[in-house]
Structure 1
Amino acid sequence: MQKTDLQSYALNEVIYISNRNRFEKLLKKDILYIEAQGAYVDIYAISGKKNLSTHLKSFLSQIGDTTFIQVSRKHAVNIIHIQEILSDSIIIDKQVISTSKMYRNNLLEKLPIIRSKP
């Protein structure tokens, strides 16, 4: 890989979150899930919670990464961190995140699920 290819790859792995007069670097892989709070989103990451003034749909379109999937009106998750999927929720880092039927099929289609015999 050439240096510019490496730089592009590295930039695809991070986002910068605006926080007053500065921008905080956050690795995409460290984001656990995102929760909408009206005109804000709370970003739950391994390093802690970050708050950003944007809507969930806007955040997801700006991050541009298929590992983030909306699972309810209020939540999007990083599928890398899903530990368990229940009938109406997901477990990530011991947190129970509600899912809705509307988004469930899309989530299940994106995951490599191995099923047992019928």
Structure 2
Amino acid sequence: MNLNCIIVDDEPIARDLLRTYIEQVPYLTLAATCADAFEAMQALGRQDVDLVILDINMPRLSGLDMLRSLKRYPAVIITSAYPDFALEGFELSVTDYLLKPFSFPRFVQATEKVAQHRQALATPLTPAPSTPTSPTDDFIVVKSDKKLAKVFLRDILYVEAYGNYVFIHGDSDRLMSKQTLTQLEAQLPAGRFVRIHKSYIVSVKAVRFLEGNEVSLGSKKLPVGKVYKENLLTVLR
């Protein structure tokens, strides 16, 4: 699948670096290079664009203000030297937030998220045969980006707190919801999920092992708080 993308950045060096990165990714095609948000909006109006690689701090109109001004926009990857706008960016449904300077592998990781999402939308769904309802069919409904999202419990690896927001992490994606970790914890069955830290809840089935004050979920390791460790040990026994 090919993705037409545009670069939006007021710094020539940053634009050159992104152009070099794009040329090395087979499924990316550079459709336009824009020095500010106004050029970008014109480019979006002229052609079909699948991905906007967008800087935040630009003259006249910031990248985030540009997104707010648009009724619809394609997938967006934010590139910024400032981490402070990450939460605001995810509230606008950006796919990823790259903190400058970022490496080529990190850039590829972000663009692959866009490509995988596009592929999933393009793949027709085959109805599954009817089967009796089982615990693995259980789900919760959470509010995300002004929508109600259905999240299957079997797909949740862990949940991470971020102030008054939570990130629900799956194998290859994550979903943000405006609520506290305690509020989300009340929706999860205690036998299948356990609080391990003031900032984390994990799926019991996803825990590979406990070593010291860390749990391993495969390639991901998370800290275990002292006050939660005894309960975790009880659940794992």
| Fold conserved between structures, TM > 0.5 | yes
* Deviation of 1:101 (Å): 1.4
2: CA distance, partners of 1:90 / 1:10: 24
Query: Tell me, what secondary structure is at the counterpart of 1:62?
Result: coil
Among 162, 167, 183, the residue aligned to 1:37: 162
* Deviation of 1:110 (Å): 1.0
Among 165, 168, 171, the residue aligned to 1:46: 171
2: CA distance, partners of 1:52 / 1:108: 29
1: CA distance, partners of 2:135 / 2:222: 30
1: CA distance, partners of 2:135 / 2:166: 24
* Deviation of 1:23 (Å): 2.0
Q: Which residue of 2 aligns with 1:3?
A: none
Please report the TM-score for the alignment, with normalisation by the length of structure 1.
Answer: 0.79
Among 9, 12, 19, the residue aligned to 2:144: 19
* Range with bigger deviation, 42-51 or 20-29: 20-29
Post-superposition Cα deviations, 1:38-78, rounded to whole Å, max 9, x if no partner, equal 10011101241110101111100123442111101111100
2: CA distance, partners of 1:38 / 1:73: 11
Give, as a single letter, the amino acid of the residue that structure 2 aligns with 1:15.
I
2: CA distance, partners of 1:79 / 1:64: 11
* Deviation of 1:21 (Å): 4.0
2: CA distance, partners of 1:71 / 1:77: 7
1: CA distance, partners of 2:191 / 2:143: 22
Higher normalized contact order (CA 8 Å, seq sep 6+, divided by chain length): 1
User: Alignment RMSD, CA only?
Assistant: 2.0
1: CA distance, partners of 2:148 / 2:136: 14
Q: Which residue of 1 aligns with 2:200?
A: 75
Cα contact 2:166–2:181 (8 A) shared by 1: yes
* Range with bigger deviation, 32-41 or 42-51: 42-51
Give, as a single letter, the amino acid of the residue that structure 2 aligns with 1:55.
T
Give, as a single letter, the amino acid of the residue that structure 2 aligns with 1:73.
K
Structure number with larger C-alpha Rg: 2
Please report the TM-score for the alignment, with normalisation by the length of structure 2.
Answer: 0.41
1: CA distance, partners of 2:185 / 2:213: 22
Give % identity: 22
* Deviation of 1:11 (Å): 9.4
Alignment coverage as a number of residue pairs: 106
